[in-house]
Structure 1
């Protein structure tokens, strides 16, 4: 039983820090390559890298209310740490899902604490501009939802 818990914890930590690293490295790249508002065409009419500063949450909601997002991020991280510490029936897939979400939350949290806004740059032209952390949060949440659906069936 202890071995399974160690593997699950290792999965959580590995995925969390992998997602966090990808997010932060991608943001450093964008900041070094582009000026705010500048766009680089990757696939014409489909995908651009566009550097913006997002002072709000998803879709720019609650702009300049950074303290709310910092509080919610810390609350989420504490909840996940409690789950991974005390919920021993978890599996590696649950650990991976929580790791993706946590890595994304930590990536945006670092931006908010350090800069007061989040660096966004993934621009598909039909959706608000977002970043790698948002991909990890959304993807992890979707996978978690599917995992929970599967466990109910």
Structure 2
């Protein structure tokens, strides 16, 4: 009878750990059920280093998350959908760019607010975009230009 009690105890610990991992993953990815955000879109020439779940920041503060990325077959650009936390208003002349956390850090999406008195509505597009810059490409340009 004690064998069954020990197995039940170990099973309970494993189940509690699994639930803990699910809760942790939901918090890290920004998953929530309250729907306290609204979608915006942008189209980038290159989204190197950005994927679904990447942070969207304004002044270094996380205000949203990238929720979808797809290739536009007509323009060959990366169409991106991202969410912005409810209550954060983005001026309609804002710019959006792919930024890096440093030489070894990951990339994130940064919104640079404009000065307009009008704000983007849910589902609207930020048209002023700046794509990511590949470190490898920059190094290759530096070394190939130095040889000439």
Both structures adopt the same fold (TM-score exceeding 0.5): no
Normalising by structure 1, we get a TM-score of: 0.24
- For the pair shown, which has the larger CA radius of gyration, 1 or 2? 2
Write 1 or 2 for the structure with the bigger share of helix: 1
Determine which structure has greater relative contact order: mean sequence separation of CA pairs < 8 Å that are 6+ residues apart, divided by chain length.
Answer: 1
Write 1 or 2 for the structure with the bigger share of strand: 2
Normalising by structure 2, we get a TM-score of: 0.25
